[in-house]
Amino acid sequence: MLNNPKARRAVSGLLDPPAKLLLRLHISPDAVTVVGTLGAVLCAVLFIARGDFLIGVLGVIVFAVADLLDGTMARMKGTSGPWGNFLDASLDRVADGAIFGSVAFWAASNDHMWLAAGTLIALVAGQVTSYAKARAEAVGAEANVGLVERAERLIAILAALVLAGVGVPWVLDIVVWALAVLGVFTVIQRVIHVRKQLKPRTETL
- Place 28 in a pLDDT band, splitting at 50, 70 and 90: confident
pLDDT at 201 over 70: no
- Place 112 in a pLDDT band, splitting at 50, 70 and 90: very high
Mean pLDDT of all residues in 30-37: 90
The better pLDDT of the pair 66, 49 is held by 49
**Which fold, 5-203?**
Four Helix Bundle (Hemerythrin (Met), subunit A) (1.20.120)
Q: What is the pLDDT of residue 160?
A: 97
- Place 205 in a pLDDT band, splitting at 50, 70 and 90: low
- Across the chain, mean pLDDT equals 87
Tens-digit pLDDT profile for residues 57-108: 999 998 887 767 887 888 887 777 788 888 888 998 999 999 999 999 999 9
pLDDT at 204 over 80: no
**Whole-Å CA distances, 55 to 44, 84, 181, 183:** 10, 29, 28, 27
**Rounded Cα distance, 64 and 58, in Å:** 10
- Place 1 in a pLDDT band, splitting at 50, 70 and 90: very low
pLDDT at 8 over 60: no
pLDDT at 11 over 70: no
| pTM of the complete model | 0.86
Cβ distance 102 to 45 under 8 Å?
A: yes
Active site residue 70: no
The better pLDDT of the pair 171, 11 is held by 171
Q: Which of 67, 70, 88, 92 is catalytic?
A: 92
pLDDT at 192 over 80: yes
- Place 149 in a pLDDT band, splitting at 50, 70 and 90: confident
Q: What is the pLDDT of residue 23?
A: 86
